[in-house]
Amino acid sequence: MVLSTSRTWLLIGCVCGANVLNNFLQGALTVSLSTIQQSLNISEPNLQWCLSAYALTFACFLLLSGKVADVLGRRLLFVLGTAWIAILSIAASFSRNQISFIVLNGLMGLGAAANTPAGIGILGSTLSADVKSMAFAAVGGAAPIGYITGLCLGGILCETFASWPSVFWIESALATIFSLMSWFCIPSDRGEQYHETMMKLLGRIDWVGASLSTLGFATLIFSLTDAQSAPGGWSTPYIPVLLVLSVILLLLFFRWEVYRERTGAATLMPPSLFKSPNFGMILSMVFCAWWAFNAMTYFATIYYQLVLQLSPIQTALRLLPLGIAGVGINTLAGYLISRMRPVWLIALGLIGSLAAPLLFAFVQPSFSYWWIMFWVMLFIVGPDAAYAVSNIHISAAVPAQDQALAGGIFNVTTRLATALGIATSSAVATAVSNAAQRADGDLTRSPSALLSGYHAAAWVCFGIAMVAMVIDLVGLRGLPMIRPSQPEQAIVVSVELQPVEARP
C-alpha cells in the first residue's frame, strides 16, 4: 500500500508518540518517587517497585505481544495497547496505597508491551526503504524526548498542588490522543486471514513457548531487580532459586522452539533467526551497549539525588542535556545511516559509551557540573547511534509477516540488558560502598561511601562498553551500508555474498 506523504508522517508521528508515552512516565516517576513515597506511605523496600513493576511486565510480554500483533493485526494491538495506557493512567492517579499503585503500574506495562513491537512492526512492514531509516531514527529520538519531558514536568508538578497524580492525567490525555490518531492514520493490515475464526488465528500462536518465555523472563527480571532490595541481597534464599528457575525455563523455551520449528509448527521466535548474517552479533552489541547506557543513566540520577542531595527539579535540569543529546544523535544517525558504513556509525556512538563512565569514575561533588557531569550527560546517549541501524537489520532478518516480532526481539534485548546491567553494577557499587563505610567507621552510609561505589559501577559500565566496541569492530565489520533505494532483502543477501577478503 502506497501512503501519501502526509499520512506517512502522521503514521511515524503515532509510533513516535507511543515511544514518548512509554518513556515519559518513567522519567516523571524517577523524580517523583520521594513525593509518591510520602503521599502513599510506601515502605523503602517496595519503593523500587513503583518503577520496576512497569518494566517487569513490559519486558516479559514483548515477545508474545509481537507475535499476537503479527497474527491479529499490528494496528489493532497498537491502538489497544495505547488505549490501555490511557485507562490505567487514570486509575493509577487515584491510588490511595502502595499496593494499588504498584499493581496498576505493573498492568500499565502491558500496554507498552503491546504498542512497542506493534509500532516497530508497522514501520517495518508499511514504509519504503528510503523512509524507514529516517523513521527508525525518529522513533529512537522520541525516547529521550519522552524521558526528559517526564523528568522536567514531574519535577515541576510535584511542587504544585496537583502533585504526582497530574503526571498520570497528562499521560492519559496523550495516550487518548495517540490511540485515536493511530486508528485513523495507520492503514489496516487485515488480510484474507481475517475471514477465519478467531480461534484459528489464535491457534497460530505458540502458547507453550509464550508461557515458557514469559515465565522465564519474569523470574529472571524479578530476581535481578529484587536482589537490590531483598533483606539479604543476593544471598536471600529465593533470589538464587529464582535465577536458576529462570535459566531452566528459558532453556526449555529454546529447546521447545527448536522442536516446533523442526516439525514445521508455529513458533514464537524461530531459532533459525540466529543463523541470519550478523543477527546474533547485533543483539550482543545492543545488549552490551544498552547495559552501559541504562546503568550509567541510573547512577547519574542517584548521584544527583543521594550524593549531591538535589531536589527533583534540580536533578531534572541537570539531566536535560541527556535528552537534547539523544535527539541530536538520533537525528545525526538518520542522516548518516545511508552515508557511513554501519560499523563506523555504531563505533562513533560507542565512543560516547566509553567516555561517559570514564569521566564519571573520577567525578567529585566539589567539581563544577560543567567540568565533568555535563559531558557525561552528552556522552551517555551514544548507543542511540545504533538504534536505527540495528532495528533495520533485525527487521530485514525477520520475515515480512513477523515484523512486530522483530520489534519484540530488539526491545526484549534492551530490557534484559537494563535489568542485568543495573543489578550487576548495583551489586558492585553496594559492595564497594559497604567496604568504604566500614573503613571510615561510619554507622550510616555517607555520600562519600556511596560515591566510591558509584565509581566502581562506572568501571563496570566502561568494561561492558568496551565489549560492545569489540563486537562492533570485529563481528559487525561486514555489515552492509543501508542505501535509500536498497530493498530490505538485499541487506541480508549482500552480507551472504560478500567475500571475507573484501571486508575492511
- 495 pLDDT band (50/70/90 cuts)? very low
Check residue 436 and give its pLDDT: 82
Question: What is the average per-residue pLDDT within 228-257?
Answer: 87
pTM here?
0.80
Please give the DSSP secondary-structure letter assigned to residue 4. Answer: P
Q: Is the pLDDT at 67 greater than 80, yes or no?
A: yes
Statement: residue 374 has pLDDT above 90: yes
Cell of 341: 558504513
The CATH number of 1-187+196-204, from 1.20.1250.20, 3.40.630.10, 2.40.128.20, 3.30.70.890, is: 1.20.1250.20
Tell me the mean pLDDT in the region 411-416. Answer: 84
pLDDT of 503 reads 32
The band of 471, judged by pLDDT with boundaries at 50, 70 and 90, is very high
Give the containing element (helix H, strand E) for 310: none
Mean pLDDT confidence for 199-211: 78
Mean pLDDT of 263-275: 82
Query: At residue 87, does pLDDT exceed 90?
Result: yes
Say yes or no to pLDDT of 226 above 70.
yes
- Most confidently predicted of 104-113, 189-198, 354-363, 421-430: 354-363
What mean pLDDT is reported for the chain? Answer: 83
Position 201 confidence tier, pLDDT thresholds 50, 70, 90: low
- Percent of the chain exceeding pLDDT 70 equals 89
Residues 406-431 have a mean pLDDT of 83
Residue 123 binned pLDDT confidence (cut-offs 50, 70, 90): confident
- Whether the pLDDT of residue 501 is over 60: the answer is no
Closest-CA residue to 294 (of 418, 447, 404, 405): 418
CA distances from 382 to 357, 376, 501 (A): 12, 10, 30
Which CATH superfamily groups domain 270-504? MFS general substrate transporter like domains (1.20.1250.20)
What tens digit of pLDDT does each residue of 439-459 get? 766 656 678 888 999 999 999
Phi-psi sector, 213: left (phi>0), alpha (psi -120 to 50), beta: alpha
Inter-CA distances, 476 with 185, 283, 346, 393, 498, Å:
36, 11, 9, 11, 13
- Would you kindly state where each structural domain of the chain is located, as residue ranges? 1-187+196-204, 206-267, 270-504
Rounded to an integer, the average pLDDT of 197-216 is: 80
What number is the average pLDDT over the span 458-475?
A: 95
Decide whether 1-187+196-204 matches 270-504 in CATH topology.
Answer: yes
- Average pLDDT on 237-252 reads 92
What pLDDT, on the 0 to 100 scale, is given for residue 498? Answer: 38
Is 41 a residue whose pLDDT tops 70?
Answer: yes
Q: Report pLDDT digits (tens) over 355-365.
A: 999 999 999 99
Cβ atoms of 409 and 283 closer than 8 Å: yes
CA distances for 146 relative to 17, 18, 102, 320, 324, angstroms: 9, 9, 21, 11, 11
User: Comparing 86 with 67, which gets the higher pLDDT?
Assistant: 86
